[in-house]
A and B are shown apart, each in its own frame.
Chain A
Amino acid sequence: MTETGAATELLAMRDVRVTYQTSEGPLPAVRGVDLVVRRGEVVGVAGESGCGKSTLVSTVLRLQPKDAEVEGAVEVLGDDVQTMKWGDLRALRWAGASIVFQGALHSLNPVQRVGRQIAEPIGVHEPGLSTDAVDRRVSELLEQVGLSASRARSYPHQLSGGQKQRVMIAMALACRPQLIVADEPTTALDVMVQAQILDLLRALVRDLDVGLMIISHDLSVLADICDRVLVMYAGRVVESGTAAEVFADPKHPYTAALSGAFPRIGDQAARYSPGGLAGDPPDPRSLPDGCSFAPRCPRVVERCTSAEPPLADVGGRPVACIRAGEP
């Protein structure tokens, strides 16, 4: 990594492994992930429930549960989050990076006006600020996320799902972070509202020159907004590349299935034949031998079960499938 490269890297994860110690033995949730988010860049992580993507998100600000053991390096703005001192970590959590969590729609305090909830982190971060200045900042933030400043006086129940998601994004922006992580930001929303939120996120990255990492199980959403996409399965990255490449020309059979799950309207091949996969993702405690995707893979052959395929270069981008190069 060159000096100039490191400077623009807001988030750098190198060979991150997370293992939960459970009463039924160790549970490897993340098994070696490399990921970089640069300034002005949107990076997507695609994967299903249980693939380790939410665990991965939690390591960005060392928010993982106590029983989780993290190996590898998680560097935010050049410092390793997992080893830094408490004070530094607090500063980082306030101003360096912020996370919009999944299910955030329910995490607003129902008995507090949203303006106060947005103001709270500002007050803690910049205690010298006058009340007027904080109020001005809250109004600015609300307008930045496409709500009128008068919304500050609303209670959460007076807002729709899309508006609540906007408030959550405003809260994430409150202390001017350089890196924003959004876990399933559009999952519970309608298509039209989803489009509105994606537009908003795109505009924020462009205007504020921040880095955005976005997690979703919907590859088409990621293809829409991301510069680069990583596809995770059973705790590992199985394919990565530019969003257009990954979505339009998936090399890994799992990526192909994800990409086929949401059909292109007008594609006659998808009429009366929904794409998908048989079976469920594997239990991380008892992963199958060899490639962990093999039991569900439509292209499985015998040698797939002998060893877990490493990420190897296929047509210019990394893919973890021994048959990816084959026609």
Chain B
Amino acid sequence: MTAGPTDAGAAPLLEARGVTVEFLTRAGHAARALDGVDLSVQPGEVLALVGESGSGKTTLARTLMGLQRPTRGQVLLEGRPLDYSARGLRSYRRRVQMVLQDAAGALNPRQNVYESVAEGIRLHGRAKSDDQGRSEAELVAAAMSDAGLRPPEKLFLRFPHELSGGQKQRVLIAGALALRPELLLADEPVSSLDASIRGEILALLLKLRQELGMGVVVVTHDLGLAWNIADRIAVMYLGRVVECGTTEEVLIAPRHPYTKALLSVVPEIEGLEPVVLTGEIPDPTRIPAGCRFHPRCPALADGTAERADVAGACRTEPLEVLPGTGEHRTACHLDRVMSSTPR
């Protein structure tokens, strides 16, 4: 297996500690999009943030990118808290890059491919500081061929509307790669792409990890994608991580009822009785008391929690924030009881 370094002893590259993000809604209610998230990313690791819309996964990625300032908590790069001054963010963004959701809209329609890819190089003066003395055009060409756009020169003068969806996504990846980041955040990198293009982009992310040692945090609602490329998975629900662990642990032996339900409705998995949860994630102005998942929890509804004598706790006792280590953990009263008793 070519899994990246996931041993818990290594110092994490990027860390979120108790990150909370609150918004004020139009009506004046405080909405807690993130409610205390601990997360760590090791160098060269592929981590998948999985959840439905409304789970806070995109807010978390934006917070990790410094686009969103946490109301409480910290984002740390190699143990140092993120500096939110203009200069601090600039140097941070040289090391951590992001590919935004919506590849179609993330390219300036008036900039051609060359200019879009060269933007980061110019902003950071990369052409002046290149260790091999390469010119700007050479750096652009190199980043584009790394992103699988070959030959790059043919595409230099194309405008976004002249590119296919897959090509746009590659141009965005090339623009981020040109800065040689140590970590790439990718928000739903393939959700808007056709099925046959999807594999190529995912393979590209894996190849970049292998060749450049770049870590990847991929935000997705697609568990199959996580199975394809992730070393580790963090499942999010309503602003919290509810289960995390290695991909095998989380997807083959899920312990949180929410993860189990999510897995059961993936159409490809045969043999699992689909547990279709009713309703959708509640809105973050009204986070339920106790376990935030309890109103939709199938284990509470079918009496499993009652039999394990945790139903009361589910409804009233809040759960602790999961530590961002590599171990397989869940934020679930039922699982705490189940995994401590020998099965």
A-side contacts of B229, CB under 8 Å: 272, 274
B68 at the A interface (CB under 8 A): no
With a 10 A CB-CB cut-off, give which of B52, B194, B223, B278 has the most chain A CB atoms: B194
For B267, give its contact among A162, A217, A224 (CB under 8 Å).
A224
A261: chain B residues within 8 A (beta carbon) = 195-196, 198-199
State whether A276 and B223 are in contact (beta carbons under 8 Å apart), knowing that A265-B269, A266-B269 are contacts in the complex.
Answer: no
Pick the interface stretch among B30-38, B134-142, B200-208, B284-292. Answer: B200-208
Q: How far is the CA of A160 from the CA of B53 in the complex (A)?
A: 10
Chain B contacts with A in 240-268, Cβ cutoff 8 A: 247, 251-252, 261-263, 265-268
Known contacts A262-B224, A265-B224; decide if A277 and B276 are in contact (CB<8 Å).
Answer: no
Contact of B277 among A192, A218, A257, A264 (CB under 8 A): A192
Write the chain A residue with the least CB distance to B251.
A265
Q: Which residues of A contact B228 (CB under 8 A)?
A: 263, 270-274
A278 at the interface (CB under 8 A from B): yes
Assess whether B251 is in contact with A266, with CB atoms less than 8 Å apart.
yes
Q: Does B274 contact A (CB under 8 A)?
A: yes
Q: Is the CB of B269 within 8 A of A223?
A: no
Q: Is the CB of B263 within 8 A of A196?
A: no
Whether the Cβ atoms of A192 and B262 lie closer than 8 Å is yes
Q: Is the CB of B195 within 8 A of A263?
A: no
Question: Of the candidates B164, B165, B265, B268, which one forms a contact with A194 in the assembled complex, judged by CB atoms under 8 Å apart?
Answer: B265
Chain B residues numbered 182-226 whose CB sits less than 8 Å from any CB in chain A: 194-200, 202-203, 206, 221-225
Is B198 within 8 A of A274, CB to CB? yes
B43 within 8 Å of A (CB atoms): no
Contacts of B302 in A (CB 8 A): none
Known: A191-B222, A195-B276. A276 touches B52 (CB 8 A): no
Q: Do residues A192 and B52 form an inter-chain contact, with CB atoms below 8 A?
A: yes
The CA-CA distance from A166 to B236 in the complex, in Å, is 26
* Residue from A162, A262, A273 in contact with B195 in the complex, judged by beta carbons closer than 8 Å: A262
CB distance from A291 to the nearest CB of B (A): 16
Complex Cα–Cα for A278 and B229 (A): 18
A191 touching B223 in the complex, CB below 8 Å, given contacts A261-B198, A272-B2, A277-B199: yes
Mark each residue of chain B from 1 to 41: 1 if its CB lies under 8 Å from any CB of chain A, else 0: 11100000000000000000000000000000000000000
The answer, yes or no, to whether A234 is at the interface (CB within 8 Å) is no
The reply to whether the CB of A79 lies closer than 8 angstroms to some CB of chain B is no
Q: Interface digits, B42-86 against A, CB 8 Å rule (1 contact, 0 not)?
A: 000000000011000000000000000000000000000000000
Residues of A within 8 A of B53 (CB): 161, 190
B196 & A48 in contact (Cβ 8 Å cutoff): yes
Kindly report which residue of chain A lies nearest to residue B209, judged by CB atoms.
A272
Q: Does B166 contact A (CB under 8 A)?
A: yes
Given A263-B224, A265-B227, A280-B166, A192 contacting B199 (CB threshold 8 A): no
Q: For window 263-308 of chain A, which residues contact chain B by CB distance below 8 Å?
A: 263-267, 270-278, 280-281, 296
Q: A265-B263, A271-B227, A276-B198 are known contacts. Are A190 and B52 too (CB-CB below 8 A)?
A: yes
A-B CB pair tally, cutoff 8 Å: 125
A258 to chain B: closest residue by CB = B195
Are A270 and B221 within 8 A (Cβ)? Answer: no
Q: How many angstroms from the CA of A296 to the CA of B166 in the assembled complex?
A: 14
Q: Check if B280 is an interface residue, CB within 8 A of chain A.
A: yes
A278 contacts across to B, CB distance below 8 A:
200
Which partner residue on chain A sits nearest B51 by CB separation? Answer: A190
Within 8 Å by CB of A160, from B197, B225, B251, B280, lies B280
How distant is the Cα of A160 from the Cα of B265 in the complex, in angstroms? 19
Q: Report the separation of the CA atoms of residues A257 and B198 in the bound assembly, to the nearest whole angstrom.
A: 10
Closest chain B residue to A219, Cβ basis: B195
Q: With A190-B53, A217-B194, A265-B227 as given contacts, are A199 and B276 in contact (CB-CB < 8 Å)?
A: yes
Among B164, B197, B268, which residue has its beta carbon within 8 angstroms of that of A276?
B197
Tell me which residues across on chain B come within 8 A of A49, comparing CB atoms: 165, 194
CA distance A296 to B194 in the complex (A): 14
Complex Cα gap A162–B276 (Å): 13
Q: Which chain B positions have C-beta within 8 A of A235?
A: none
A89: interface (CB < 8 Å)? no
Q: A86 vs B280: C-alpha distance in the bound complex, in angstroms?
A: 43
For B167, the chain A residues whose CB sits under 8 A away are: 280
Is A119 close to B, CB under 8 A? no
CA–CA, A193 and B52, complex, Å:
9
Rounded to whole angstroms, the CA-CA distance of A258 and B276 in the bound complex is: 25
Residues of B within 8 A of A221 (CB): 267
Q: Which residues of A contact B227 (CB under 8 A)?
A: 263, 265-267, 270-271
Q: Can you spell out 16 A-B residue pairs with CB atoms less than 8 angstroms apart? A: A48-B194, A162-B280, A192-B262, A195-B274, A219-B195, A220-B266, A220-B268, A224-B267, A262-B195, A262-B224, A263-B227, A272-B3, A273-B228, A274-B198, A276-B200, A277-B199
Given contacts A192-B52, A280-B166, 20 further A-B contacts (CB under 8 A): A191-B262, A191-B266, A192-B261, A220-B268, A221-B267, A224-B267, A261-B196, A261-B199, A263-B224, A263-B228, A266-B227, A271-B247, A272-B2, A272-B3, A274-B199, A274-B206, A276-B196, A276-B198, A277-B197, A280-B197
- Which 10 A-B residue pairs are closest in the complex by CB-CB distance? A276-B199, A195-B265, A274-B202, A48-B194, A224-B267, A190-B52, A261-B195, A277-B196, A274-B228, A220-B267
